[in-house]
Structure 1
Amino acid sequence: MSAQVQYSEFGGPEVLSFVEVPMPSAPSDGVVVETRAIGVNPIDSMLRSGARSSAPLRSPRVPGADAAGVVVAVGADVDDWVVGDEVVVQNGHSTYATHIVAPASRLVRKPAGVGWDEAAAIGVPASTAYQALRTLGVEVGSVVLIHAGSGAVGQAAIQFARNWGATVIATGGERNQARMGELGAIPVEYGPGLLQNIRAAAPGPIDVVLDAAGTDEALEASFALVSDRSHIGTVVVGARAAELGIQAWSGGNPLPLTPEELRLRAESYAVTLELIELGDFEVEIGARYPLTAAAEAQRASMSGEHRGKIILHPSA
């Protein structure tokens, strides 16, 4: 048998239930992956609560977009994958499960030197950060301001920008200053005088801003520092992007990602996995929960009590 977490109504974490279901079979162009680790993202809770709009609930829905595991069944038309391959599921869906079905085209090979938790953690955060920074044109010599630099997206963005030869200033809370510094950013604490503190950390011009905080304080500081708002991007307040005149990717943005943005997000998986294996990219795991405790994991995700990525373990 297989098992999954599902919900049949919008609401708090208590609407999630752990149920046994029949083992899925592989479609002709896809595979079945037995999960080893599953990533928890804030969007999972937003969709479950109804805070982020989605299709009407006409049948039980399984949360999740990120997972890594082992191929256990292969469709008749699949040539590139075999049973036993260790993979990361790219842009997955319904991943809060012991077994998931995925198109063969959305699998990325997991390097032997990358752990299951790290492999499952990179999906949404790393692909978002990678695509946003590429779209903003970050390159060698760029000066980049990242708001909420200690979150999963922020930590990924700091590391990509530093690997590409950029100078990074990152904002965050007091307890996260050391972590942002460890990753190579110049840390600046939230609070009174944010704009002046950023200017003190980067007396020269700032080229681009990636906002993963969405606060008025962060946005106002960004507008004061970067006159061309097309060089400011957000991944959290997309619904306000047109009004503010900034770029946005997901985060409530009514406009879908462009084909080029989707290509960049897909490209990020192999790039990130290689960097992890080389020791040039770190994934901070904040907490681990058994799949049966998915409700507790989502509560922790929304409370912000853990820094770093929250992971579900199907076998725990």
Structure 2
Amino acid sequence: MKAISYRAYGGPEVLEFGELPEPKVGPDSVLIKVRAAAVNPVDWKAQAGYLDGMLQAVFPVVPGWDVSGVVVGLGADTPEFEIGDEVIGYVREDFLSRGTFAEYVAAPVRTLARKPANLTFEQAAGIPLAGLTAYQALRAAGTGEGDTVLVHAAAGGVGTMAVQLAKHLGARVIGTAGERNHDYLRSLGAEPVTYGDGLAGRVRALAPEGVDVVLDLVGGGTIHTSPEVTAPGARLISIADPDVAALGGRLLWVRPDTADLTALSHLAEQGVLTVEVAEVFPLEKTADAQRLSAEGHTRGKIVVTV
């Protein structure tokens, strides 16, 4: 099969486009013909070796965890799916090797859900990792009706999901973003604020009593502004900064979960959750897609098609 892979840690320059063996399908897995795979910052961070203390790399590594595609093969015990089913998945294992930037991926059924019927494969590929991260973060924070939620990096892939899901839960949402994305955030129902110096004052001007939930989706010390902007008893979640624990919050590492992913698929079909695709690249141009992702200024999702 055609695939993107790397044989040593590094940047986009270590990616190779070529032939690899088609993956074998375990008893509780299905074989997916990949139609699209979303690019996430964790892809190039893992590729650079930043997660080496957590996830062992078994070279050659095919990067990518997000996928949308069609079931073309069944494991020995996979009654959940049939040949021809259109699916989405957050296909993460506890090591780096068999990713989704390839013609085929063998995916455990626990990582999959049915693709939203109203979305293209490109749009649907943007849901799993970003959607699950936002969904599980909001749940971990106990977000509900009447909460005021501050979402850092609200115009990014995870941020846009978090804004829409928080609004669906009945929360008020304040989102940090560059000014060029403020109108976009307003269209999603958030109140935008510019990040950078003076952020705490801008947030307090919108929420004088403080916010109830902080979602840090960017890291870089952002979580340390929380004591200046939160109400008593506020809940802090970060997906990028372990320092959140010292502030009484939680570091969240998103998990594959069929029930959660199915819920997101249903929300997409109901029009509650939308996916903005920023740019689409063919498989052989995955290195260019990574470079764009690493710039950190993209609104929505970057997607590779197969």
One fold, TM greater than 0.5? yes
Q: Where does residue 214 of structure 2 map in the other structure?
A: 209
Of residues 287, 291, 295, the one that matches 1:299 is 291
Q: How does 1:20-59 map to 2 (within 5 A)?
A: 20-53=19-52, 54-59=54-59
> How has the CA–CA distance of structure 1 residues 89 and 192 changed in structure 2, closer, same or farther, with 3 Å as cutoff?
closer
1:119 matched to 2:124? The reply is yes
Q: Where does residue 247 of structure 1 map in the other structure?
A: 250
Q: Where does residue 75 of structure 1 map in the other structure?
A: 75
Give the drift of 1:191: 2.8
Q: Where does residue 106 of structure 2 map in the other structure?
A: 101
Give the drift of 1:134: 0.7
Q: Where does residue 160 of structure 1 map in the other structure?
A: 165
Q: Where does residue 254 of structure 1 map in the other structure?
A: none
Q: Does the CA-based 8 Å contact 1:30-1:103 persist in structure 2?
A: yes
Q: Where does residue 96 of structure 2 map in the other structure?
A: none
Q: Where does residue 17 of structure 2 map in the other structure?
A: 18
Give the drift of 1:25: 4.1
Q: How many residues align?
A: 300
Give the drift of 1:215: 3.6
Q: Where does residue 281 of structure 1 map in the other structure?
A: 273
Q: What SS does the corresponding residue of 1:207 show, helix, strand or coil?
A: strand
Structure 1 residue runs of 5 or longer lacking an equivalent are 251-256
- Structure with the larger strand share: 2
Q: Does the CA-based 8 Å contact 1:148-1:212 persist in structure 2?
A: yes
Identity percentage over the alignment?
A: 39
TM-score (norm 1): 0.89
Q: Does the CA-based 8 Å contact 1:42-1:301 persist in structure 2?
A: yes
Structure 2 residue runs of 5 or longer lacking an equivalent are 94-98
Q: What SS does the corresponding residue of 1:61 show, helix, strand or coil?
A: strand
C-alpha separation in 2, matches of 1:95 and 1:241: 31
C-alpha separation in 2, matches of 1:17 and 1:85: 30
Q: Does the CA-based 8 Å contact 2:209-2:231 persist in structure 1?
A: no
> How has the CA–CA distance of structure 1 residues 56 and 170 changed in structure 2, closer, same or farther, with 3 Å as cutoff?
closer
> How has the CA–CA distance of structure 1 residues 207 and 85 changed in structure 2, closer, same or farther, with 3 Å as cutoff?
same
Q: What SS does the corresponding residue of 2:211 show, helix, strand or coil?
A: coil
C-alpha separation in 2, matches of 1:36 and 1:186: 35
Q: Compare 188-197 and 281-290 and name the one that shifted more.
A: 188-197
> How has the CA–CA distance of structure 1 residues 271 and 186 changed in structure 2, closer, same or farther, with 3 Å as cutoff?
same
Give the drift of 1:230: 6.5
Q: Does the CA-based 8 Å contact 2:174-2:192 persist in structure 1?
A: yes
C-alpha separation in 1, matches of 2:22 and 2:91: 22
C-alpha separation in 2, matches of 1:267 and 1:79: 16
C-alpha separation in 2, matches of 1:37 and 1:220: 37
Q: What SS does the corresponding residue of 1:162 show, helix, strand or coil?
A: helix
C-alpha separation in 1, matches of 2:203 and 2:248: 22
Q: Where does residue 253 of structure 1 map in the other structure?
A: none
